């Protein structure tokens, strides 16, 4: 990589996070692919030699499990999605120069050779670890496929984390009463030899790497914590059949999917070169350090300015993999480090994350089925807010931006200018562009270039929209309709407008390729709008007939209809509380969050409702609890505690001091007078030096206090 401004002399490669081949694509996924596509096209506009590559991620446990559930071969399972993706991308004008998959020969060979190098360089060692195992199925159970009891708090917990209870991270073997979430069989632990990549030895290198990394700030900052806290070596093997065989242990182990997945970036670039020839695009120039020291070793320091530019666009949930593990592997294996990592935010609907398993999403095919042009969604996804910000989708705002910016500003300027030009001049008037307008176009071009160099897609798109706005002001200000038809003055104004229109088409191409293509055709412009550079913004278009409208309004009734449809879907998603943990695992991809707005839902997080327990208690057991109505007399926060509050509760016979974890969840000043339900015979406990004599009942994370609805007096027994 270099830190020269784009365009540089060396070729660039733009990648996006690999789609994981176990589910359909939705608009969340599309954000990354369209953003990377737009960025790649934008680099091309600057004259940068560049390629956009990607591929399907075919390996890993979720695919193996999914295939098993469907009763098909993992390869067939993944391949079906792979083919679906390949068909979907062109429909959104996502134009990969090469799209492969991680299971093909190129990736398999390259992965094995890179792992061999890691071994040769002494960065791989063996270590015995405990692995959860289903003895009946004779199947290893990666951590999410184990449930059991948390040894710290007694809650039901996932194998790797006590998700419902105390939130602690659990080491393999720690969880009690483990069982398989797939079969329900009791799980046992077996000692297995695994391979580890000594990432911890590369802390200094990675710190330096991060200092020079371009892209979004979150990608630079987030991994620092890991390094500062001390990197752990990385287990790179799994007890599975499905995956790339570990060289030398083919029968036992496959490589962890996160090893071979990013290598697909290289493999896919290589495949591109194999197809077009190294003269057209040389993958080694990008990925292999070009300069060497005297003993033939790659010289990373000296070669910095001669290597290609590697730009990764990813979701912000996989930053660690791209800024720790991946550059560590590249460094040891002797490949070029990425120049930039751009981590996008998530797409949300009404502020909440998308969920595959609960069908809380707008699927790629659904969008197209509604009959909207793909470029409209591209425009929304790539230009709505900052790159690393989460992006909320609503049809209302979609329509707002389409109608306001695309129809009103860009489309309208195009139509009125070209119509005028076609009617009175049969196309571009034969005069030169005025100096003022030429300067304004140059300004827009500069604005675009600057934004691309700052990885600012929104800024780059604004260059075009703002230029179109200028066009509207210009034509309005000069009122060509009041000038003599076909006269010199009118010719000048229209000539200027036509040039602005062409410049807008060039600047908008990365975001709306198909619309730009149509605009170019309407302008009778020479050349391929996808291939031209920014210079084309200044070159005169040709003769042309009357144009068509570029964009159509989205009608209000349509928006209402779509919003209603979406609302219904979201409501269904809320109702569907059946999402098991396996489903959640399938959800966890680059584009999704699993959040719930607890202030809005009185029920809190629907997805996390624990199954009702089967262990029945006797009536006597129940009677053992002395539940009483109490009235809060006073409430004050406990100094030093995050959540604890000290309550004085009137229980009729006496007033007790009770400590409750509700400090931040209730307005303490408003609590006095509130009736609550108290476990009066709870054992005493001292918290932060305050003795708690009883327990106040509350529901859920929100600590929704239980109360009475009648006028029961304090001290009344609850039965």
Partner RNA sequence: AGCGGGAUGGGAUAGCCAGGAGAUUCCGGCGGGCUCAUAACCCGCAGAUCGGUAGUUCAAAUCUACCUCCCGCUACCA
Residues 422-461, interacting with RNA (CB under 7 A): 454, 456, 458-459
- Total residues binding RNA (CB under 7 A): 102
Report whether 357 contacts 584 (CB < 8 A). Answer: yes
**Segment 516 to 545, residues that bind RNA, using CB under 7 A:** none
CA-nearest of 79, 74, 72 to 62 is 74
Least distance CB 304 / RNA (angstroms): 21
Min CB(372)–RNA separation in Å = 14
What b/e readout covers 652-691, taking b as 16+ CB neighbours within 10 angstroms? eeebbebbbbbbebbebeebeeebbbbbbebeeeeeeebe
Query: Contacts with RNA in 359-388 (CB under 7 A)?
Result: 384-386, 388
Nearer to RNA, 97 or 447 (CB): 447
* Contact of 96 with 54, CB cutoff 8 Å: yes
Tell me how far apart the alpha carbons of residues 238 and 246 are, in angstroms, rounded to a whole number: 9
Minimum CB separation from RNA for residue 226, in Å? Answer: 5
Question: Which residue, 285 or 595, has its beta carbon nearer to RNA?
Answer: 595
Cβ-based nearer residue to RNA, 463 or 680 = 463
Q: Is residue 234 involved in binding RNA (CB under 7 A)? A: yes
Instruction: Annotate each residue in 466-495 with x if it binds RNA (CB under 7 A) or - if it does not, as one string.
Output: ---x--xx-xxx-x-xx-------------
Span of 77-85, 253-261, 374-382, 572-580 interacting with RNA by CB under 7 A: 253-261
Q: Is 715 in the site for RNA (CB under 7 A)?
A: no
Stretch of 32-40, 76-84, 223-231, 270-278 lying at the interface with RNA (CB under 7 A): 223-231
Instruction: State how far the Cα of 209 lies from the Cα of 325, in Å rounded to an integer.
Output: 12
Q: What residues numbered 646-685 form the site for RNA, per CB under 7 A?
A: 664
DSSP state of 707: -
Residues 194-213 that bind RNA (CB under 7 A): 194, 199
The 10 Å Cβ neighbour count of residue 72 is 14
Listed ranges 28-36, 257-265, 428-436, 683-691: which one lies at the site for RNA (CB under 7 A):
257-265
Residues 61-100: x where in contact with RNA by CB under 7 A, - otherwise, as a string: xx--------------------------------------
Residue 508 C-beta: closest distance to RNA, Å: 13
Stretch that binds RNA, among 32-40, 250-258, 329-337, 562-570 (CB under 7 A): 250-258
Among 152, 189, 205, 226, binds RNA (CB under 7 A): 226
Who contacts 557 (Cβ-Cβ below 8 Å, separation ≥6)?
Answer: none
| Site for RNA, residues 546 to 605, rule: CB under 7 A | 549-553, 585, 588-590, 593-599
Q: Are 456 and 448 in contact (CB under 8 A)?
A: no
Cβ 470 vs Cβ 410: under 8 Å = no
Question: Binding mask 396-415 vs RNA (x if CB under 7 A, - otherwise)?
Answer: -x--xx-xxx-xxx-xx--x
CB of 684 to RNA, least distance (A): 25
Binding to RNA by CB under 7 A, coded x per residue (else -) over 126-155, reads ---x-x----------xxx-----------
Q: Does 284 bind RNA (CB under 7 A)?
A: no
Residue 235 within binding range of RNA, rule CB under 7 A: yes
What are the CB-based long-range contacts (under 8 Å, 24+) for 73-81?
74/242, 75/103, 75/242, 77/21, 77/22, 78/21, 78/22, 78/103, 79/21, 79/103, 81/19, 81/21, 81/22, 81/23, 81/24, 81/56
Q: Considering only residues 289, 353, 464, 524, which one is a binding residue for RNA as defined by CB under 7 A? A: 353
* Calpha distance 209→439 (Å, rounded): 40
**635 bridge partner residues:** 647
The total number of residues shown for the chain amounts to 719
Query: In angstroms, rounded to a whole number, what is the distance separating the alpha carbons of residues 145 and 160?
Result: 9
Complex with RNA: residue 196 or 283, whichever CB lies closer? 196
Q: Tell the smallest beta-carbon distance from residue 97 to RNA (Å).
A: 23
CA–CA separation, 72 and 68 (whole Å)? 6
3-state secondary structure 391-437: EEECHHHHHHHHHHHHHHHHHHHHHHHHHHHHHHHCECCCCCCCHHH
Identified binder of RNA from the candidate list 138, 225, 295, 621, rule CB under 7 A: 225
Measured distance CA(278)–CA(270) in Å, rounded: 9
Q: In the Cβ-directed half-sphere of 327, how many Cα atoms lie within 13 Å? A: 32
From 58-66, 89-97, 286-294, 297-305, give the range in contact with RNA by CB under 7 A.
58-66
Give the integer Cα–Cα distance in Å for 32 and 312: 10
For RNA, the closer CB: 532 or 668: 668
Among 317, 514, 576, 626, the residue binding RNA under the rule CB under 7 A is 317
Rounded-to-integer distance, Cα 368 and Cα 24, Å: 14
| Complex with RNA: residue 322 or 631, whichever CB lies closer | 322
> Which range binds RNA by CB under 7 A, 26-34, 176-184, 220-228, 537-545?
220-228
> Shortest gap between Cβ of 277 and RNA (angstroms)?
32
């Amino acid at each position: 990589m270099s830190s020269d401004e784009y365009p540089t002399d060396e070729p660039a490669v733009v990648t996006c996070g690999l789609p994981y081949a176990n589910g359909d694509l939705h608009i969340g996924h599309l954000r990354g692919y369209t953003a990377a596509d737009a960025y790649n096209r934008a680099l091309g506009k600057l004259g940068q030699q560049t390629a956009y590559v990607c591929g399907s991620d075919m390996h890993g446990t979720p695919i193996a499990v999914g295939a098993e559930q469907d009763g098909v071969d993992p390869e067939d399972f993944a391949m079906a999605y792979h083919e679906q993706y390949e068909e979907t991308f062109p429909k959104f004008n996502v134009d990969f120069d090469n799209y492969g998959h991680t299971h093909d020969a190129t990736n398999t060979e390259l992965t094995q050779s890179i792992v061999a190098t890691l071994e040769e360089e002494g960065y791989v060692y063996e270590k015995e670890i405990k692995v959860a195992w289903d003895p009946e199925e004779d199947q290893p159970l990666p951590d999410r496929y184990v449930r059991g009891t948390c040894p710290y708090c007694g809650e039901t917990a996932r194998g790797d984390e006590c998700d419902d209870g105390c939130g602690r991270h659990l080491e393999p073997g720690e969880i009690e009463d483990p069982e398989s979430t797939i079969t329900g069989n009791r799980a046992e632990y077996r000692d297995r030899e695994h391979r580890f990549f000594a990432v911890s030895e590369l802390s200094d290198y990675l710190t330096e790497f991060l200092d020079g990394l371009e892209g979004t700030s979150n990608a630079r900052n987030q991994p620092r914590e890991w390094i500062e806290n001390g990197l752990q070596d990385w287990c790179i093997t799994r007890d599975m059949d499905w995956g790339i065989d570990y060289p030398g242990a083919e029968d036992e182990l496959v490589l962890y999917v996160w090893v071979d997945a990013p290598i697909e970036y290289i493999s896919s670039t290589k495949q591109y070169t194999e197809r077009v020839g190294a003269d057209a695009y040389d993958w080694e120039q990008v990925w292999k350090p070009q300069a060497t020291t005297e003993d033939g070793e790659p010289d990373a320091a000296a070669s910095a300015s001669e290597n290609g530019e590697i730009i990764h666009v990813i979701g912000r949930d996989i930053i660690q993999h791209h800024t720790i593990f991946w550059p560590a592997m590249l460094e040891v294996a002797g490949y070029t480090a990425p120049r930039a990592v751009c981590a996008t935010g998530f797409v949300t609907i009404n502020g909440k994350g998308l969920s595959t398993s609960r069908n809380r999403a707008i699927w790629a095919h659904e969008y197209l089925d509604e009959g909207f042009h793909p470029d409209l969604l591209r425009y929304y996804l790539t230009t709505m807010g900052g790159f690393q910000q989460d992006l909320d989708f609503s049809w209302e705002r979609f329509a707002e931006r389409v109608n306001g910016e695309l129809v009103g500003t860009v489309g309208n300027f195009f139509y009125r200018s070209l119509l005028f030009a076609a009617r009175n001049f049969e196309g571009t008037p034969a005069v030169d562009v005025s100096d003022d307008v030429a300067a304004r176009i140059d300004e827009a071009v500069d604005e675009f270039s600057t934004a691309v160099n700052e990885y600012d897609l929104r800024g780059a798109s604004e260059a075009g929209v703002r230029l179109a706005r200028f066009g509207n002001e210009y034509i309005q200000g000069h009122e060509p309709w009041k000038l003599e038809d076909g006269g010199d003055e009118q010719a000048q104004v229209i000539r200027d407008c036509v040039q602005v229109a062409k410049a807008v088409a060039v600047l908008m191409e990365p975001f709306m390729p198909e619309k730009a293509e149509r605009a170019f055709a309407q302008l009778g412009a020479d050349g391929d709008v996808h291939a031209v550079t920014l210079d084309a913004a200044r070159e005169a278009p040709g003769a042309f007939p009357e144009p068509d409208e570029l964009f159509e309004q989205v009608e209000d009734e349509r928006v209402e209809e779509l919003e209603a449809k979406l609302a219904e879907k979201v409501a269904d998603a809320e109702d569907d509380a059946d999402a098991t943990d396996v489903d959640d695992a399938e959800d966890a991809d680059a584009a999704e969050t699993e959040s719930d707005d607890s202030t809005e839902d009185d029920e809190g997080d629907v997805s996390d409702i624990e199954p009702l327990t089967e262990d029945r208690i006797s009536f006597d057991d129940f009677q053992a609890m002395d539940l009483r109505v109490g009235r809060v007399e006073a409430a004050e926060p406990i100094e030093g505690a995050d959540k604890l509050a000290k309550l004085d509760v009137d229980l009729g016979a006496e007033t007790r001091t009770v400590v409750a974890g509700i400090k931040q969840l209730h307005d303490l000043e408003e609590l006095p007078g509130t009736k609550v339900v108290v476990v009066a015979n709870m054992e005493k406990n001292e918290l932060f030096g305050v003795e708690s004599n009883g327990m106040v009942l509350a529901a859920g994370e929100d600590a929704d206090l239980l109360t009475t609805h009648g006028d029961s007096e304090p001290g009344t027994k609850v039965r």
